[in-house]
Amino acid sequence: MQPILKVTNISKYYGRFLGIKDVSFELCPGEILGFIGPNGAGKSTTIRTLLGLLNYQLGHVELFGQTLTLNNASHLLKDIGYLSSEAKMYEFMKVKDLLKVSLHLSGIKDDTYQKHLTTLFDVPLNKRFSELSFGNRKKVSIVSALQHKPKLLILDEPTNGLDPLMQLHFFAEIKKLNKDHKTTVLLSSHHLKEVENYCDRMMFIKNGALIDQNKIDQFIGQTYTKVSIPSHIALKEDDTISIQSKTDNKLSFIYKGNVKDLLNLLLSLNVDDVEITKPDLEELFVTLYDNDGGTP
């Protein structure tokens, strides 16, 4: 199956400062991929380079089976819905005019779905964009990104500024587009539960480089395991062990590796009391990022 999006060894520098380095991943039709990392890790830089909004020094991007170039960018990007984290649009225009222009640029004449979205998200159509709160700006941006039912949705922190009800409406609409129209989604989010609940697969970026990619269930249940053992047992951290907490009675750590190797480790430690569970995504985030931050 040909990927909707294929990113190969993309590198971006800001002068001598690293933005992203050797970033490679594929996004298959109908897949929802979560993109996780702390502030400054390179998420937005990655997204903006693959959209052609930033020039990159090395690598290439393929969209819908074609290499993205300056000559074909406008044509290929029509099939993409992009929601930026900043929610910026023309300040002087009324919302209804912004959405009309946006739909026209996508080559769509039927505004039935647009009307559904503006009603669902309670969008103030007659106000100028400059008059809107951040939450309402985000709603307008959501409608603009979704209204042409794109083949690919690229969402950068989409629910920031939305109240809980609107967040539920948003993800229900994303899932419906994904189910009914096979819309493919790249979701960049700080809200780890969003990724865990709605994505098929996730990838982590740290200091401008991807450090892990996997399906959600494989990542949480097979690659990483949460283990609790008696606190008197001597255990040192290494590439496979990340200690989470220690009390008078219990030592908890995250183990990276297969179950067979974990059992061998526990046998070598003569453990007589052990609790093994699946870690949640927040615990894994801490494990992956507790030693380093992002990149400038």
Q: Is residue 270 in some structural domain?
A: yes
- Are 131 and 235 found together in one domain? no
Q: pLDDT by residue (tens digit) across 48-100?
A: 888 888 888 889 899 998 888 878 877 888 899 999 888 888 899 999 999 99
Q: pLDDT by residue (tens digit) across 235-284?
A: 888 888 888 888 988 999 988 888 888 999 999 998 889 998 877 777 77
Query: What's the pTM?
Result: 0.80
- State CA 172 to chain mean position distance: 17
Q: Is residue 197 in some structural domain?
A: yes
Q: Is residue 168 in some structural domain?
A: yes
Out of 152, 174, 206, a domain closes at 206
Query: 170: which 2 tokens?
Result: 């948003």
Output the pLDDT for position 294. 41
Domain limits for position 181: 5-206
Out of 206, 236, 255, a domain closes at 206
Q: What is the distance between the alpha carbons of residues 224 and 151, in angstroms, rounded to a whole number?
A: 33
Question: 80 - beta bridge partners?
Answer: 152
- Are 245 and 102 found together in one domain? no
Q: pLDDT by residue (tens digit) across 8-62?
A: 999 998 888 889 999 999 999 999 999 988 888 889 899 988 888 888 888 989 9
Q: Is residue 213 in some structural domain?
A: no
Query: 145: which 2 tokens?
Result: 């990104």
Q: Residue 208: which residues within 8 A CB-CB, separation 6 or more?
A: 18, 19, 20, 21, 23, 41, 42, 45, 295
pLDDT classification of 221: cutoffs 50, 70, 90: low
Do 207 and 292 contact (CB within 8 A), yes or no? Answer: yes
- Are 35 and 168 found together in one domain? yes
